[in-house]
Amino acid sequence: MLKVEPHCSSYYAASRNDHTVYPPLMGDHETDVCVIGAGFTGTATALSLAERGYKVTVLEQNAVGWGASGRNGGQLIAGVAGEKRLLKYWGEEVADTLFNMGYRGHEIIEERIEKYNIDCDFKHGYIDVALKDRQLRHLRQWHEELCKRGMEDKLRLVEGQELDDITGSSAYVGGLINMRNGHLHPLNLCLGEARAATELGAIFHEGSPVSEIIHGKKPVVVTAAGRVTADFVVLSGNAYHRLEQQKLSGLVFPAGSYILATEPLTEAEARAANPMDLAVCDQNEIVGYYRLSADRRMLFGGRCNYSGREPVSIEAAMLPRFKALFPQLANKRIDYSWGGKIAIVVNRVALLGRTADNVFYAGGYSGHGVNNAHLSGEIMADAVAGTLEKMEIFSKVSHWKVPFGQWFGGQAVAAGMLYYRMKDLL
């Protein structure tokens, strides 16, 4: 019997509110759409398709939300991954479309939280913070651009002592508050969407790694103990998949991101560290981020190494930066520390397309997965239904493919991260 790898020992796994176990695939089945992967992209796609009346089967190697979807910082940030590259390719005529797509993931998530009563600690409130003057200039320009799009009432530039009070740290020179962005419990969102999809008839199978996709008029998805024959297949494995290598190998590279969770803070400590309960993210190329959980833990994250290797101790690797930003919390106990892989694309444009007329793929959000994966789920459902325009905004853009497979690609990402780390320090 195949052993399903459990969720990592994170704060999210410890505070999950749905413990449904889905059985592995056994035997031969037929479906309209077979979705491979049950992270945000897979569950969002399955739910979008189920809402439209499709029969959907979802195959997951481990458990729903096992990968980055159940481990990330929980920051709901607008924007389409690779937007600058997309604008360079298509021109300004797609600027409005990209802006609207950049917030579409937010709309989908908020609609589903309300419609399906998903308890995932969702709250509006987010701030981009600048560590140096050139980053502050960028935030000011960004503020102007967003105001021109009618978002004045959702935005506020802050500097000086007010910024120190809002962020709980004196490390930043400026910040842009965006109340249209927010934060949430990502694993509970993913589990809630899977539950909603099953209530609409979708069938989920955990512990069902896919070994092969047999192409044809009706593609067949093969696991160790079963097969699914479908009209369409959607591949959403992201950083962890190894399928369709002829088309997708060398395009996505996994990079490590890590999070600490403190013991619960007192009300006074939480109020002093983050009085507006904002998600905070800096403007470095190798980002740092933090926020408070619903039970007032400080969740502090970032990519703490640039060698391509996992740290021996995530806690030891993250604590110096945490204590530098929050000396007032230096003595707080660390209850959880965990990490995982996010999918990096060299040009940052998300990978949406198809390997055959009836086999689609989506992934590669380069750290913007909470929002972008939900947008992709809708785009994948549109593509299955025959509407390809939004998918082709992404699929027409060429990507640099690193040769010699995943290992060499990983080394390239490590070298690139070292470059960006040096750029951040200058």
pLDDT score of 248: 83
Residue 358 sits in the same domain as residue 286: no
Q: 385: domain range?
A: 11-71+187-253+347-419
Is residue 166 classed exposed, middle or buried when 0-12, 13-18 and 19+ CB atoms within 10 A define those classes?
buried
Q: What is the 3-state secondary structure (H, E, C) of 209-252?
A: CEEEEECCCCCEEEECCEEEEEEEEEECCHHHCCCCHHHHCCCE
> What pLDDT sits at residue 304?
52
pLDDT band at residue 419 under the 50/70/90 scheme: very low
Q: Which helix (H) or strand (E) holds 412?
A: helix 405-425
Could you tell me whether strands 359-363 and 288-292 are parallel, antiparallel, or unpaired per DSSP bridges? unpaired
Which of 44, 89, 49 lies closest to 383 in space, CA to CA? 49
Q: What is the pTM of this model?
A: 0.94
- Looking at the fold, whether 204 and 162 belong to one and the same domain comes out as no
Tokens of 325: 């930003």
CATH code of the domain containing 297: 3.30.9.10
Whether 13 has a pLDDT exceeding 50, the answer reads yes
CA-nearest of 243, 233, 208 to 356 is: 233
pLDDT of residue 246: 79
For the chain, the maximum distance between any two Cα atoms, rounded to a whole number of angstroms, is 64
Query: Is there a single domain that holds both residue 168 and residue 225?
Result: no
Q: Mutual orientation of helices 83-90 and 95-115 as an angle, nearest 10°? A: 140
β-bridge partners, 176: 128, 157
Residue 323 in domain? yes
Quick check: is 45 in a domain?
Answer: yes
Q: What is the pLDDT of residues 307-353, one digit of tens each?
A: 556 788 999 999 999 999 999 999 999 999 999 888 888 888 999 99
Task: Out of 313, 342, 371, pick the residue that ends a domain.
Answer: 342
Both 338 and 267 in one domain: the answer is: yes
- The count of domains in the chain is 2
In a domain, 426, yes or no: no
What pLDDT, on the 0 to 100 scale, is given for residue 173?
Answer: 97
**Which regions of 248-314 does DSSP assign to beta strands (E)?**
252-262, 279-282, 288-292, 298-302
What are 262's strand-pairing partners? 334
Q: Is the domain of 324 the same as that of 263?
A: yes
* 408 pLDDT more than 70: no
Considering only residues 387 and 305, tell me which one the structure prediction assigns the higher pLDDT: 387
Whether 192 has a pLDDT exceeding 50, the answer reads: yes
Q: Which of 342, 357, 382 is the last residue of a domain?
A: 342
Contact at 8 Å (CB) between 74 and 195? no
272: which 2 tokens?
């002093």
Q: Give me the chain's average pLDDT, please.
A: 92
Q: Give the per-residue pLDDT at 307.
A: 53
Same domain, residue pair 407 and 300 = no
pLDDT tier at 405, thresholds 50, 70, 90:
very low
Distance CA 142, CA 149 (A): 11
Are residues 400 and 356 part of one domain? yes
Describe the strand order of the beta sheet including 155-158 as a list of residue ranges.
Answer: 155-158, 174-178, 126-130, 279-282, 288-292, 298-302, 252-262, 334-345
* Domain co-membership, 226 together with 369: yes
For residue 105, being part of any structural domain is answered with no
